[in-house]
Amino acid sequence: MVDDDTLFGEVVRVDGVNVYLVRSVSRSSRELGVGEFVGVECGGDVVVSVLTGVERSIPEDVVSMISLEMESKYLPYSSELDSSYYRLFGLGLLSRSGVQHGLRVAPRLRSRVWRLDDDTIRKFHLPHGRANISYFNRYREALGDDLLLAIVDELWALLPEARRMLAPVRKYLKGGGAL
């Protein structure tokens, strides 16, 4: 699944089978963007999820104790003072027995989360050698057109063989739902 070197974060809140909040444990210089795919461990399987948002905070009581000049000097060095959280939406399950779009189970708290490699993303979206984005219809209302467009952009780069299918979807989403 994932080794500790590629670990991105851990699940700290589960709001149903599809929605998770992840606390980042990585200090990677490469920032994850909305629409990127991550994996969440769920038993021996992987919940293929998409990043839907970012939350960052510094506790107000800490900020109020430090002057503005000192804040810029000291806060970047304190890994305990700031926190990054990522909102994820689970799209489906990748298991030894195959691909399942849609979920019936949620990951546990403290489940590990990592960036999915290109091969895993391809495996999820090309389960039988043909492109499949059936979760678009199922989750369109929950994800919204802007996020779906970001997903299409990710898939456009990873799945050149699916561009004929993705082109009208991209045009539809860019046109605000009208072809």
| Secondary structure (H, E, C), the chain | CCCCCCEEEEEEEECCCCEEEEEECCCCCCCCCCCCEEEEEECCEEEEEEEEEEEEECCHHHHHHCCHHHHHHHHHHCCCCCEEEEEEEEEEEEECCEEEECCCCCCCCCCEEEECCHHHHHHHHCCCCCCCCCHHHHHHHHHHHHHHHHHHHHHHHHCHHHHHHHHHHHHHHHCCCCC
Q: What is the model's pLDDT at position 178?
A: 59
Res 70: pLDDT? 62
User: Is 0.75 surpassed by the pTM of this model?
Assistant: yes
Please tell me the predicted confidence (pLDDT) of residue 2.
Answer: 60
Q: What is the pLDDT of residue 77?
A: 47
Could you state, in order of their start, the residue ranges of all structural domains in the chain?
A: 7-132
What is the full per-residue pLDDT of the chain (179 aa) written as tens digits?
Answer: 565 557 889 999 999 999 999 998 866 666 788 999 999 999 999 999 999 999 877 666 555 666 666 655 555 545 444 578 999 999 999 999 899 999 999 999 999 999 999 999 999 999 988 999 999 999 999 999 999 999 999 999 999 999 999 999 999 998 866 54
